Chain A
Amino acid sequence: QQPVQSPQAVILREGEDAVINCSSSKALYSVHWYRQKHGEAPIFLMILLKGGEQKGHDKISASFNEKKQQSSLYLTASQLSYSGTYFCGTANSGGSNYKLTFGKGTLLTVNP
């Protein structure tokens, strides 16, 4: 039931690109992406909704394949501030679409 994230960790140099994937075994209503730095609250990045609508940051893009129940987060021209753990939270279709189930996270490290 927990979505699967890949990769588990990635190391980049500043300016490089990265893709983080999130895959669910259930039909999804929405996918929520967060970034969390050590000891801090998860920070909202994006929501991708069934039907194609997206809400979130201008500089971060993502995709949502409803049929495959998969989402990908694209980080381009990475900055040092992008470092942190990225979590996807999935809301299942149906009556309990308020409930987010989170993956185990992807640790992103951006080096100078």
Chain B
Amino acid sequence: GAGVSQTPSNKVTEKGKYVELRCDPISGHTALYWYRQSLGQGPEFLIYFQGTGAADDSGLPNDRFFAVRPEGSVSTLKIQRTERGDSAVYLCASSLTGTGFYEQYFGPGTRLTVT
């Protein structure tokens, strides 16, 4: 079956611009997660959706970051006024439901470069 997909695979933007990153989870998975991975580090939790609602956004670094999942499937991570420090790979993952009992399947990520 189809895995988690993310678009675009690469995004280069200028400092101060707005970007949107898209995630399409595995069909039937109600839980969706965004992580950020910097070079040489493990993924870092950003936000968790159960269905349409953001159940935990404690990992978002500041109010320039926002994510939505309006119909409980596709999610968009939005970053306003991008900074060079936002450069990283943004990973999306989905799981059957949101408990540590279920495995999370990751997408290939979007590599964001802020120049």
Identify the A interface with B (CB < 8 A).
2, 29-30, 32, 34, 40-44, 47, 49, 55-56, 87, 89, 91, 96-105
Contact = CB atoms under 8 A, between A and B. Distances in A.
A98 B31 contact: yes
B103 interface: yes
Interface string B18-51: 0000000000000101000000111111001010
Nearest to B105: A44
Secondary structure dominating the interface of A: strand
13 contacts: A49-B100, A87-B42, A89-B42, A89-B104, A97-B100, A98-B50, A98-B95, A99-B45, A99-B59, A100-B100, A102-B42, A104-B40, A104-B42
B91 A101 contact: no
Interface stretch (B67-75, B80-88, B106-114): B106-114
Contacts of B95: 98
Nearest to B4: A41
Interface residues of B, number: 28
B91 to A, nearest CB: 7
Nearest 7 Cβ contacts at the A-B interface: A102-B42, A91-B100, A97-B100, A98-B98, A30-B100, A41-B106, A29-B100
Contact of A98 (B43, B99, B107): B99
